């Protein structure tokens, strides 16, 4: 109880108390004996301490039940990620005096202050959750909150299926064209990942991209995306659908990838496979402003290397996050994308229109081009054109489409675009 109170008062943000019970521990004692069981409990405790942060508190509260206090959490979803990491850490069985023993857990979780204002109440609610968890299978997690139970179940279901999605080739690219606002000439595409799961059906990107980032699979997806986009581009050029070789395809790269790996090396290694077509000038690396929050200098160094190798760079969702004139002037940016939230309200909200105008003027002064995303009506298009925007993207002109539909679209666009004048 004292430890829970310490966790509740020492930090300003959320905390959680977890009661983790070893699945079928009585059976382990019966098979291997109490001495082995005792040694296993010590080994489990050591592994738990290796997984959690120094600020978290871990201890045994009953013979085969561990209490874990998570302190200073940013948000509730952090707990789901920690539970997933816990499960992964216990995939490796224990070797106790030559006996190989697999350990699973059933866990009840209460969040403070949401699920209790006193240590006694938090413990009681975690215990109630554990009782529910023990009615289920191994690695069963139960939150005292129904909403979090639902989110945890969805996270684990998606993650399990995402791990298999690469082998099953369930990811596909949908391409959405960009258009020059004055001529309606196609001047680029955005490569958008779609997941067509055999088990779950069509899953929206907003549901699976965060899970890929949190689980470390985002780099694998990006490598696949770059390679497939290069393959598609190479094919489009070889069948002579483009009169010139400089039409770029935009590919989103997560800030997590910039933090955890050599993005420059990854991109160059993949693109260099297509030497005959020389695709480096046709790849536009799309980033978000959050990339610069943690380590501006490292991010800038990588972007400059990409730029020096002829890659294009664009910054997405500009104006919605951490926009700063102090850094934008130093970045090797080719395109600034005006976020859809400003475009959507550009007709009925003076502030949205003013922000869009400011971004367009800023880009022009810095010799960058602007791309307005989410253009859904002719009226939005005309306003953006009057403001001096360079490029537009949106459903009014073209929806995202798979490669076979894109080929048909490209073949017919010169005739079709006459309808938009």
pLDDT tens by residue, 186-207: 999 999 999 999 988 998 888 8
Q: How far is CA 336 from the centre of its chain?
A: 21
Determine the angle formed by the axes of helices 146-168 and 77-89, rounding to 10 degrees: 50
Do 159-420 and 2-144 fall under one CATH topology? no
Q: Quote the CA–CA distance of 157 and 162 in Å, as a whole number.
A: 9
Q: Which two tokens stand for residue 370?
A: 């602007």
- In 227-384, DSSP assigns E strands to 249-252, 283-288, 312-318, 335-338, 369-373
Q: Where are the domains of the chain?
A: 2-144, 159-420
Sorted by sequence, the CB contacts under 8 Å of residue 283 that are 6+ apart come out as 226, 229, 230, 248, 249, 251, 267, 271, 311, 312
Task: Enter the CATH code of domain 159-420.
Answer: 3.20.20.450
Element (H, E) at 86: helix 77-89
pLDDT of amino acid 159: 85
pLDDT tens for each residue of the chain, 421 residues long: 555 555 544 444 689 999 999 998 998 998 899 999 999 999 999 999 998 888 899 999 988 999 999 988 888 888 888 898 899 899 999 999 999 999 999 999 999 888 887 888 899 889 888 988 888 888 888 998 877 777 777 887 888 899 899 999 999 999 999 999 999 999 999 999 999 999 889 988 888 998 898 788 899 999 999 999 999 988 888 887 765 556 889 999 998 898 888 999 999 999 988 876 677 778 999 998 777 766 788 888 999 999 999 999 999 877 665 555 667 888 899 999 998 889 999 999 999 999 999 999 999 999 999 999 999 999 999 999 999 999 999 999 999 999 999 999 998 998 888 888 7
DSSP string, 306-329: HHHTT-EEEEEEETSS---HHHHT
Q: Counting every residue, how long is the chain? A: 421
pTM attached to this predicted model: 0.73
Is 2-144 a domain of CATH 3.30.70.270? yes
Q: What single DSSP character describes residue 401?
A: B
CB 255 within 8 A of CB 290: yes
């Amino acid at each position: 109880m004292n430890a829970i109170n310490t966790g509740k008062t020492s930090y300003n943000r959320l905390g959680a108390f977890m009661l983790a019970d070893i699945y079928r521990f009585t059976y382990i004692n019966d098979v291997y004996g109490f001495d082995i069981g005792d040694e296993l409990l010590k080994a489990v405790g050591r592994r738990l301490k290796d997984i959690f942060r120094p600020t978290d508190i871990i201890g045994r509260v009953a013979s085969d039940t561990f209490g874990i206090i998570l302190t200073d959490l940013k948000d509730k979803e952090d707990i789901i990620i920690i539970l997933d990491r816990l499960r992964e850490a216990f995939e490796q069985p224990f070797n106790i005096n030559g006996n190989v023993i697999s350990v699973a857990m059933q866990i009840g979780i209460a969040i403070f202050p949401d699920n209790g204002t006193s240590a006694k109440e938090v413990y009681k609610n975690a215990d109630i959750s554990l009782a529910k968890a023990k009615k289920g299978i191994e690695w069963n997690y139960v939150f005292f909150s129904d909403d979090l139970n639902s989110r945890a179940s969805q996270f684990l279901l998606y993650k399990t299926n995402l791990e298999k999605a690469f082998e099953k080739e369930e990811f596909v690219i949908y391409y959405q064209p960009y258009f020059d606002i004055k001529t309606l000439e196609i001047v680029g595409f955005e490569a958008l990942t779609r997941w067509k799961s055999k088990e779950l059906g069509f899953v929206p990107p907003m549901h699976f991209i965060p899970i890929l980032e949190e689980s470390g699979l985002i780099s694998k997806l990006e490598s696949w995306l770059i390679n497939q986009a290069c393959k598609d581009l190479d094919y489009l050029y070889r069948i002579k659908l483009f009169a010139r070789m400089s039409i770029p395809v935009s590919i989103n790269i997560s800030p997590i990838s910039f933090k955890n790996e050599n993005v420059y090396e990854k991109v160059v290694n993949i693109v260099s496979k297509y030497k005959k077509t020389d695709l480096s000038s046709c790849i536009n690396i799309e980033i978000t402003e959050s990339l610069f929050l943690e380590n501006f200098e490292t991010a800038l160094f990588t972007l400059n290397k990409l730029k020096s190798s002829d890659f294009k760079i664009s910054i997405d969702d500009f104006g919605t996050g951490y926009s700063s004139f102090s850094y934008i002037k130093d970045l090797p940016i080719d395109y600034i994308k005006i976020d859809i939230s400003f475009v959507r309200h550009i007709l009925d909200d003076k502030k949205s229109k003013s922000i869009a105008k400011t971004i367009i003027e800023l880009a022009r002064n810095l010799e960058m081009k602007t791309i307005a995303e989410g253009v859904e009506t002719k009226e939005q298009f005309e306003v953006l054109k009057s403001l001096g925007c360079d490029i537009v993207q949106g459903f009014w002109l073209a929806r995202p489409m798979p490669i076979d539909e894109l080929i048909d679209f490209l073949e017919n666009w010169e005739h079709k675009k006459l309808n938009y004048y």
